[in-house]
Chain A
Amino acid sequence: AQTVTQSQPEMSVQEAETVTLSCTYDTSESDYYLFWYKQPPSRQMILVIRQEAYKQQNATENRFSVNFQKAAKSFSLKISDSQLGDAAMYFCAYPSGTYKYIFGTGTRLKVLA
């Protein structure tokens, strides 16, 4: 069965520092996408970054980057120069064959001023 695991229920980071959120998944497929979504207190899910499994290069979007290790089925999110507005729940998501998303349980990120 396809699963997504986020082992860190909560993380804290000092403003302007770097933090890494972990995600592992299980799939037998060879070509797929992976996503990180941010959910602030307003509850709206916002797409942060996506990775295509066939691409060896790690995706980057401004201060957000991923460390994608296909063989290890690991997909971590690195946030550089953390800002107060980064405080939110972060969900890792894997879309199955019909693009049905399987979400992890989420990591709550706190940013300390």
Chain B
Amino acid sequence: EAGVAQSPRYKIIEKRQSVAFWCNPISGHATLYWYQQILGQGPKLLIQFQNNGVVDDSQLPKDRFSAERLKGVDSTLKIQPAKLEDSAVYLCASSPGSEQYFGPGTRLTVT
């Protein structure tokens, strides 16, 4: 069974630029999550989708972050414009129920 795929693995941008991350969940998993993990901390949930609907986006900075999950499968997370404090690893996870399966993450560096 293929795992959660994410791309790109690494991205370096300057502040005020925009960036997009892509996630392909495990086939059949209805729930998809995006997390932000700052160095030395645990992951923080940004947004949770159930199929193509948003379940929780209470910690998503909506003035600069957006996410969509068209057709209830793949998802993209966008940051526009990026700030220095957005430097982090962005993790995507999918779940059929209580267990979450994580992708390899995208390491973003904002200079």
Contact = CB atoms under 8 A, between A and B. Distances in A.
A3 to B, nearest CB: 12
A43 B43 contact: no
A100 B43 CA distance: 11
Interface of B: 31, 33, 37, 41-45, 48, 55-56, 89, 91, 93, 95, 97-105, 107
A30 interface: no
B105 A50 contact: no
A45 B99 contact: no
A43 B55 contact: no
B91 A45 contact: yes
Contact of B102 (A33, A45, A95, A100): A45
Contacts, number: 55
Interface stretch (A11-19, A59-67, A70-78, A103-111): A103-111
Contacts of A46: 102
A91 B44 CA distance: 12
A42 B37 CA distance: 13
Contact of A95 (B44, B98, B101, B104): B98
A98 interface: yes
The interface residues of chain B, by DSSP majority, are classed as strand
Contact of A35 (B48, B91, B99): B99
A43 B105 CA distance: 7
Given A99-B31, A99-B98, A42 B104 contact: yes
A53 to B, nearest CB: 11
Contacts of A100: 45, 48, 55-56
Contacts of A43: 37, 89, 91, 104-105, 107
A104 B55 CA distance: 22
Contacts of B91: 43, 45
A103 B42 contact: yes
A69 to B, nearest CB: 20
A47 interface: yes
User: Which 10 pairs from chain A and chain B are nearest by CB?
Assistant: A103-B42, A45-B102, A43-B105, A33-B98, A44-B104, A105-B42, A106-B42, A103-B43, A91-B42, A98-B55
